[in-house]
Amino acid sequence: MKVAALQMVSTPDVAENLEVAWQLLQQARDTGAELAALPEYFCAMGRRDTDKLGYREAFGTGPIQDFLARAARELDLWIVGGTLPLEAGDDQHVRNTTLVFSPGGECVARYDKIHLFRYDNGRERYDEAQVIAAGQTPVRLDITDRSGEHWRLGLSICYDLRFPELYRAHAQRGCDLLLVPSAFTHTTGQAHWEVLLRARAIENQAYVLAPAQGGLHPNGRQTWGHSMAVDPWGQVLAVRETGAGLALAQLDRQHIAHVRSQLPALQHRIL
């Protein structure tokens, strides 16, 4: 199955971002991709964290969800809808949510980000819990590609990447493709992004697909980019360093089986 990690440099303008996302999704379709994954906050990177409250949607309805459903249906793609803000039950918070849509335009999975980013180095400060309500439940789903192959996907978002127990739980339940839509800061991404992605692939002997925000945004934030596909041996298959674009990779189920048979680390777990 051919997959695409879509990199964006999202602005505060939702309509503008959806237009860019549509163009990237079309490019992914035209290259033969069957699954395309958008980055965290693909729909908007606001000037303030609280801007998310202004374009949050109720689950199941809203222009951003309608866009994802239409794109999946018209482009005949599995779409991992990066993240968008969904209502969280109060006026001060949203859920940071990944939605997965089938080629028929049906929403088949929802994952609310579990781990909330907080960072303060004296120059940069982030505290997602001020606006985001954390999810509690890991989410996995099964899809079938055009050749009839079955794939189990494990969902995660950005800061989740630092918590290997989530990915080990995915692997224990048979996941062979791990999704990590992200908006890593330039500081943390430069230090840790690639090594964490490769580690999650190696230790779980699974493919990792990580679409990211990558560039300087109108709000002044600089994201690291380097959207990436990594194979179960930890080899980087594709990377988009900066700017809007695609990282494309071909997934091979036989390669997963080969890696897991020659080094059966998942069977050797003790704890």
The model's pLDDT over 120-138, given as tens digits with 9 standing for 90+, comes to: 999 989 999 999 999 999 9
Catalytic residue check, 2: no
pLDDT of residue 43: 98
Active-site residue identified among 43, 113, 128, 175: 113
Active-site residue identified among 40, 57, 128, 175: 40
Catalytic residue check, 203: no
pLDDT of residue 79: 98
User: What span, in angstroms and rounded, lies between the C-alpha atoms of 256 and 271?
Assistant: 23
Q: What is the mean pLDDT of the chain?
A: 97
- Tens-place pLDDT, residues 35-69: 999 999 999 999 999 999 999 999 999 999 999 99
- The proportion of the chain whose per-residue pLDDT surpasses 90, expressed as a percent, equals 99
| Mean per-residue pLDDT, 76-93 | 97
**Cα 78 to Cα 85, 133, 225, 259, 267, distances in angstroms:** 20, 27, 22, 26, 31
Catalytic residue check, 43: no
Q: How many domains in the chain?
A: 1
- Residues with Cβ within 8 Å of 69's Cβ and at least 6 positions away in sequence, in order, are 101, 105, 106, 107
Active-site residue identified among 34, 52, 128, 158: 158
pLDDT of residue 223: 98
| Mean per-residue pLDDT, 6-17 | 98
Residues in the chain: 271
DSSP 38: P
**CATH number, domain with residue 162:** 3.60.110.10
pLDDT of residue 80: 98
User: What span, in angstroms and rounded, lies between the C-alpha atoms of 153 and 81?
Assistant: 14
Domain that holds residue 135: 2-268
pLDDT of residue 250: 98
pLDDT of residue 61: 95
| Mean per-residue pLDDT, 200-210 | 98
User: What span, in angstroms and rounded, lies between the C-alpha atoms of 231 and 24?
Assistant: 23
Q: Are 113 and 155 in contact (CB under 8 A)?
A: no
- Tens-place pLDDT, residues 151-201: 999 999 999 999 999 999 999 999 999 999 999 999 999 999 999 999 999
Query: What 3-state class would DSSP assign to 213?
Result: strand
The position carrying tokens 């809203």 is 62
* Beta-carbon count within 10 A of 10 CB: 29
